[in-house]
Structures are given as structure tokens and as C-alpha cells.
A and B are shown apart, each in its own frame.
Chain A
């Protein structure tokens, strides 16, 4: 399956600042990437679908002005959490859709907002 990396793996930022998380597809050209959020001991919740060269599609209830997604190339999508607050602290995971219908996931990024 596709190999997906995320950077950073863990980030701590102060309330009110912005933080960018990168998701890279290392061996597969991904026209579509997905961003999920996972709270402790909970399931994955899809935040948005990132499409290369076009605007992301956000799920209901996700603030698109707060969670900025850019999919500038077939191998890179970024999620920027703007004006982060402690309630944004979570585990963020990206994934890549494959030609076999499943998704392959990155290792995740733990965001802590102080």
C-alpha cells in the first residue's frame, strides 16, 4: 500500500498562534487526501477531503476558516490550524485514497495548544 508521512509528529503551540501540519504521499500520486481528527479513546472523524488543485470539501460542522487545507501537489497536502485554542488539541491524521478503494493513513500528528 501507499506510504504516507506526516510532519511534525507532535507539536505544542500557544493559544492564538497558527500551526501547519504536512501530509506527504511518498510513493503514490494522490489526487485526493483526507484529514481526520481523533480525540482520546474515540473514533476518527473526517474533517475534510482535500483535492489536488481545487478547494477542499469540508464536513458539516468543521470551520473552513479555522482549518485551512491546501493540496498544492499530488504528493503534499497541508492542514493549518489558525488561531489555535486549547479545544483544538487533538490527534490529526491524514490519509491517501488508493486505486483499490481503501485508504492508507499517515502516522498522525499530536497537537497540544497551551
Chain B
């Protein structure tokens, strides 16, 4: 079974600065997908970014980028120019690429606080 580990329960960053959230995972599969989801106080889960394991290029979405290290099974999220609206719980998630196996496995989350 796959596992996802987020070793930072809480992080804080000054507004406009850059912060990196860590995620590692364990799998025996070679093809899979990785995601970062954000859960603000409203508790609505919002997709931040996704990465296909077969792609070597790191995904980027505006201020959000990932550092995907497949051999190390590491998938960190970098938030640049942090904004107050970035304050939330961030969950790393894994999904197999196998057809019919669409389950997401989540990490325990990192609570990000933005300091004005």
C-alpha cells in the first residue's frame, strides 16, 4: 500500500516571502500522480497543483511550483510571494495510474500560517 508523509505539521512564513512544504511518499509503482490540495478555513478542498510521475519537468502554476524527485520519492511544494489568502492546511496526495484505481491517499497535512 502507498503511504504519504508530511513531516511538517505547521509552517509559517512572512507575507511576500517564499516557503517550501515537504512531502515524501512510498510506492512500488512506476506510474502515478501526485497532487497538492489546499484546505482553507472554509474546509473546501482546492486543487493547487498536480504532477504526473512520467514527466521529468516540475509542474508550475503561477506562484506555486513543485520539486519532484522521483528517485527520492519526494514532492515538495514551493509557494512564492506568499499572500494572506495562502493560509490553509495543505495536503499532499498520491494516486495510482492504474485504470480503475482512482483512490487518493493523503498525507497528514501541513498548516501554513502567513505572517503579515
Least Cβ–Cβ distance between B28 and chain A, in angstroms: 19
Q: Which residues of A contact B44 (CB under 8 A)?
A: 105, 107-108
Interface of B is mostly: strand
CB of A54 closer than 8 Å to a CB of B:
no
Interface of A is mostly: strand
Instruction: Verify A42–B50 contact, CB threshold 8 A.
Output: no
Q: Which residues of A contact B107 (CB under 8 A)?
A: 43
Q: Which residues of B contact A95 (CB under 8 A)?
A: 45, 104
Least Cβ–Cβ distance between A45 and chain B, in angstroms: 8
Instruction: Verify B47–A104 contact, CB threshold 8 A.
Output: yes
A103 CA to B36 CA, complexed, in Å: 11
Instruction: Verify A108–B43 contact, CB threshold 8 A.
Output: yes
Instruction: Verify B33–A102 contact, CB threshold 8 A.
Output: yes
Further pairs besides A44-B91, A46-B105, A102-B95: 12, Cβ < 8 Å: A34-B103, A43-B108, A44-B106, A93-B45, A95-B104, A101-B50, A101-B102, A102-B47, A102-B50, A105-B46, A107-B43, A108-B44
State the B residues within 8 Å of A (CB): 33, 35, 37, 42-47, 50, 52, 91, 95, 97, 102-109
A-B CB proximity, top 9 nearest = A105-B45, A43-B106, A97-B102, A101-B33, A43-B108, A107-B44, A44-B106, A108-B43, A102-B47
